[in-house]
Amino acid sequence: MWPAQDYTRLTIESTRALQHELMTLDNPARVVVDIRGVDLAALQREAANKVLANDPYVAQMRVGQFKPDVVRLVLDLKAPVRPQAFTLAPVGEYGHRLVLDLYPVDPPDPLMALLREQEERSGQSLLQQPPVVVAIDPGHGGEDPGAIGARGTKEKDVTLKVARKLKQLIDAEPGMQAVLTRDGDYFVPLHMRVAKARKVRADLFVSVHADAFIKPHARGSSVFALSERGATSAAARWLANRENESDLIGGVNLDVKDRYLAQTLLDLSQTATISDSLKLGKLVLNELGNINTLHKDYVEQAGFAVLKAPDIPSILVETAFISNPEEERRLNDDAYQTRLAQAIVAGIKAYLQKYPRGGRSTIAANPSRDRNI
């Protein structure tokens, strides 16, 4: 179980495909899933103590034999939810998965949260004093650990730590505010990360990752932007494919994803945005070069799904190689995480100074994004 304010996920992993039927019941509010092909005793054993006290939506879970070949799983709810159930074919380390996502009926509004945070900080609303909003995206999370180092460091943990430091530093800058696309150990589908950034009308998007390679000597920081055509190198294409696998491993309900993509992302030219992304990437790369070896000394491009916001300059930072023993050690070091965050912020500030609001093509091309309207 992966409880979070955004949604709570329950996953049942099995050696064979599971058939399911989903229902919601009222008085008291509960979600019921009837599962065919699963062993009651095994599920009872696995379900014990899985619901955490801090789960925002689930109070408790009960399991029982409903029919000879059907096990019934009942979740007693703390708040009304819109449940989604779907199955995933085996991928990576995982077997067949049955996934139950419980989305709140009244979802937290990230823009309202941002406005509240801003008011608390300055006593002024966002509308009176528009800050630069930076969406910080900690890569991976939940069932998607990302790359794993030789000493067991998970990319998803490092990215969250660096991202939280980044948010702190950005929030401390006058006129700047950061929003995290996830603030906990749970999975956020790639298109949702983009959607969150657009919802808070982010000016910039920075996805934080840690690289990995089969050979342990590969090292250094790199920065990537989206490519509309092909990748700038075979290595960049390989990396984008690997990062895009996040959705497969983390587990995405394809019905919902396809609907979202059909609505928002098709047929929008991203040329101007990519040009800005490259400028931002170059300046962030310069700063990273002060604290680490650069894996490549220019911004590479490939088809990263998480960089596809049509109207927000977006970069993906591979902070260092988690597969390199020395860099894995540094990625775990609190002081080094701070230096990484400081370097990224310095790059962002250099970009904002060099290309002030109004001078940036994406802002000019998107008057509807003006917060004063």
Residues of the shown chain interacting with Zn ion in the complex, contacts defined by CB under 5 A: 139, 146, 209, 243
User: To the nearest whole angstrom, how small is the minimum distance from the Cβ of residue 238 to Zn ion?
Assistant: 13
- The 3-state secondary structure of 188-247 reads CCHHHHHHHHHHCCCCEEEEEEEECCCCCCCCCEEEEEECCCCCCCHHHHHHHHHHHCHH
Measured from the CB atom, is 176 or 317 closer to Zn ion? 317
Which letter does DSSP use for residue 130 in this model?
Answer: P
Measured from the CB atom, is 83 or 281 closer to Zn ion? 281
User: To the nearest whole angstrom, how small is the minimum distance from the Cβ of residue 214 to Zn ion?
Assistant: 15
The encoded tokens of residue 44 equal: 């009872």
Burial 320-333 (b: 16+ CB within 10 A, else e): bbbbbeebbebbbe
**Rounded Cα gap, residues 31 and 9, in angstroms:** 13
Measured from the CB atom, is 224 or 351 closer to Zn ion? 224
Which has the closest alpha carbon to 315: 190, 170, 196, 206?
Answer: 206
70-77 and 58-67 beta bridge pairing: antiparallel
User: To the nearest whole angstrom, how small is the minimum distance from the Cβ of residue 243 to Zn ion?
Assistant: 5
User: To the nearest whole angstrom, how small is the minimum distance from the Cβ of residue 139 to Zn ion?
Assistant: 4
User: To the nearest whole angstrom, how small is the minimum distance from the Cβ of residue 155 to Zn ion?
Assistant: 5
Neighbours of 182 (CB within 10 A): 24
User: To the nearest whole angstrom, how small is the minimum distance from the Cβ of residue 245 to Zn ion?
Assistant: 9
Measured from the CB atom, is 201 or 209 closer to Zn ion? 209
Measured from the CB atom, is 242 or 349 closer to Zn ion? 242
Measured from the CB atom, is 139 or 142 closer to Zn ion? 139
**Rounded Cα gap, residues 131 and 202, in angstroms:** 10
Is the Cβ–Cβ distance between 139 and 208 less than 8 Å? Answer: yes
The encoded tokens of residue 54 equal: 């801090």
Measured from the CB atom, is 182 or 209 closer to Zn ion? 209
Measured from the CB atom, is 177 or 221 closer to Zn ion? 221
Measured from the CB atom, is 200 or 322 closer to Zn ion? 322
For residue 101, with 0-12 CB atoms within 10 Å meaning exposed, 13-18 middle and 19 or more buried, which class applies?
buried
58-67 and 96-104 beta bridge pairing: unpaired
User: To the nearest whole angstrom, how small is the minimum distance from the Cβ of residue 89 to Zn ion?
Assistant: 22
CA angle 287, 291, 297 (to 5 degrees): 55
Backbone Cα Rg of the chain: 22
222-226 and 314-321 beta bridge pairing: antiparallel
CA distances from 219 to 202, 243, 324, 336 (A): 31, 18, 6, 15
For Zn ion, the nearest residue by Cβ is: 209
User: To the nearest whole angstrom, how small is the minimum distance from the Cβ of residue 146 to Zn ion?
Assistant: 4
DSSP codes joined into one string, 285-313: HHHHTTTS-BSSSS-EEE--GGG--TTS-
User: To the nearest whole angstrom, how small is the minimum distance from the Cβ of residue 286 to Zn ion?
Assistant: 22
